[in-house]
Amino acid sequence: MKPEAKSNTEIIHEVLEQVVNRKRIDAWDEYFGPDYTARGAPFIGFGFSHDTSGNKHVIDFVIPGSPAEGTLQPGDELLWVEDEHERWATYEDISEGLQRHKGSSLKVGVRRGAETVEVELTRGLIQGFDTDNDRAKSEMRDFMTRQVPDLSVEVKMTLEDGDKVVCLKEYRGTHAEFKREAIWREIWIARLSDGKIVESWPLPDIDAYCRQLGYQLIQPSS
């Protein structure tokens, strides 16, 4: 006699317990389909991410259609960051500068091969972009093992309708760099097929998260 199939709600609860609370990133493929896609919401920003391992800030991703597209390239090493008030040029200071700059524009110097290139970026609207399965898994591994190694999650509410589950989650954890604990919530809409998550729409409360880490949210100048 075959065991009774799990409901979609049970699968969502189980993946959060196994992958996040028990730190079993190896269990990811048990719950997410190989073609899983995370759908991002539109936001305002510059449109790049960087890897900080190896005591360097290296651009590892440029969002298509963002202000950084055509200006920065994966592999560029950040040498300095500058706004209208200040320049940050050491490994530690660059992290601070990317967090603290207040204006709508930013100048950066990058090492690109044998050249040093200076570029200026202006914040702009970035349409939501898709994150594929491999990158989503890698980003989650980095977030819950390096950035917030004591990350935990509690499910507050779930609603199931057909092949979709809407889940209200509450995360808690201490950021390894800022040494501050944060508690924030996220609405996660997931679509499942044949017992695996194939598509989702994460909507985290980024403002609450950033404020608790010490960021100041400043009203843009007119």
Q: Express each pLDDT in 11-57 by its tens digit.
A: 999 999 999 999 999 999 999 999 999 998 888 889 998 888 778 99
Q: What are the tens digits of pLDDT across the range 49-67? A: 888 877 899 999 898 889 9
Where do the domains of the chain lie, and which CATH numbers do they carry?
Answer: 8-41+128-213 (3.10.450.50), 43-125 (2.30.42.10)
Q: What is the pLDDT of residues 158-194, one digit of tens each?
A: 999 999 999 999 999 999 988 999 999 999 999 999 9
* 144-155 per-position pLDDT tens digit: 999 999 999 999
Spatial separation of the C-alpha atoms in residues 50 and 16, rounded to whole Å: 26
pLDDT the model gives residue 68: 94
The reported pTM is 0.73
* Mean pLDDT (the chain, rounded): 91
